[in-house]
Amino acid sequence: MSLLSPLHLLRYGAANLGAPLLTAAAGWIAYSRLAIDHEVALPPALAAEHDTFSSVAGKLGYYVDRHAAGRPLVLLHSVNAAASAFEMRPLFEHFRGSRPVYALDLPGFGSSTRSDRDYAPTLYRDAIVDFLTAVVGAPADVIALSLGCEFAALAANLRPEAFRSLAFISPTGLSAEERGGDSPRARRVHSTFDMSLWRQPFYDLLVSRPSLKYFLKRSFVGEVDPGLLHYAFLTSHQKGAVHAPLCFISGRLFTPAIAESTYVRLQRPTLAIYDQDAHVSFERLPELMDRNKHWRAIRIVPTRGLPHWEKLPETVAALEAFWASADENVADDEPAEEASVEEASVEEANAEEGADASSQAASADDAEGDAPADVDSDPASTGEPATDESPESAGADDEASA
């Protein structure tokens, strides 16, 4: 056989590339075990009273400010490699002192138990129900983020009396293409990630500072908030921090057909706040709003999944208009489906900052330059907020990411 034959070159390349790769992998595994601190000091995510309670998911931590009376507000963070109640900090700080505000650390994250167990959507559903019934104790306005929206919806269908309303920020489960689920394939993927030899080293790569900054940057139009980045690093370097994220990465924490099985059945006023998002899309939002008149939607531009971090006044205005509308309907004994979110609420907030809706649209066009190409075909790319009068404007790119 000639030394220059393709087969020989292939074998030569594999032998010469394989050894360095194996050496690098072995070096990283050793570095992960010997040099990375997996029990760093974790300060409170919020400057507020912190407590724990026992639930079906184990001991769960939460933050609370009870200095004001009124209907409780409950904040639920997303699920990712480095999630915690810190993600909801801008909303907690804004509403504290005006009503009772709670922020829960979901099972496997933040100050909650991070045991090596089988994490599943039903576990998060039951944890939220336990929290609302055992700790909050009154029908609450609930704001959830990303995958946390699916868990909140599951809980609301199970115990609707514990909810007064639901606000979903960049909710998952509205893409045209279904994702995830506890399938045999997802279990195989999870088993592969969960091998004891490389489980922790693999996770350590995901939650290195450069990796965290990369993924967070995809959720910001502007610069990543340094406090959020720093806390993401701290909370991901805790004992047991690897377990819940690996279930998430494998796709097992998503509920297939959540729109059909759960979202369409919600019987509480529900608001979707959205715009661009690197990880989810919203093609099914118009259909959902047509089928369930409890749903409303508003688009806050330019944002990429975290409007409460980059557009807090607009986000607060949308929430307060939504709650006021829902309250008016209850007071008038009218069905909740008559509620609507007025576009003027967001425009007024923009005016206070010296910018109107048209300037936001221009900013959105500029910000979309590095977005996936299919965003250009989004019928909502005009930058106008979507409401119940214009449900066809929902839509964005769909890209899975840990």
CATH number of the structural domain spanning residue 170: 3.40.50.1820
Q: So what's the pLDDT on residue 179?
A: 73
Q: So what's the pLDDT on residue 8?
A: 54
CA proximity to 313, closest of 341, 340, 347: 347
Q: So what's the pLDDT on residue 366?
A: 41
* C-beta separation of 343 from 360 below 8 A: no
Q: In whole angstroms, what is the distance from residue 94 CA to residue 195 CA?
A: 43
* C-beta separation of 201 from 32 below 8 A: yes
Number of domains the chain is built from: 1
Ranges of the chain whose pLDDT falls below 70: 1-22, 330-402
Q: So what's the pLDDT on residue 180?
A: 75
Is 330 part of any domain?
yes
Is 203 part of any domain?
no
Is 360 part of any domain?
yes
Q: In whole angstroms, what is the distance from residue 345 CA to residue 360 CA?
A: 14
Q: So what's the pLDDT on residue 17?
A: 52
Is 128 part of any domain?
yes
Q: So what's the pLDDT on residue 175?
A: 94
Q: So what's the pLDDT on residue 332?
A: 55
Is 140 part of any domain?
yes
Q: In whole angstroms, what is the distance from residue 197 CA to residue 239 CA?
A: 16
Assigned token pair, 307: 């409007």
Is 353 part of any domain?
yes
What residues make up the domain containing 288? Answer: 49-181+251-393
Q: So what's the pLDDT on residue 379?
A: 34
Percent of the chain scoring above 90 in pLDDT: 66
Q: So what's the pLDDT on residue 19?
A: 65
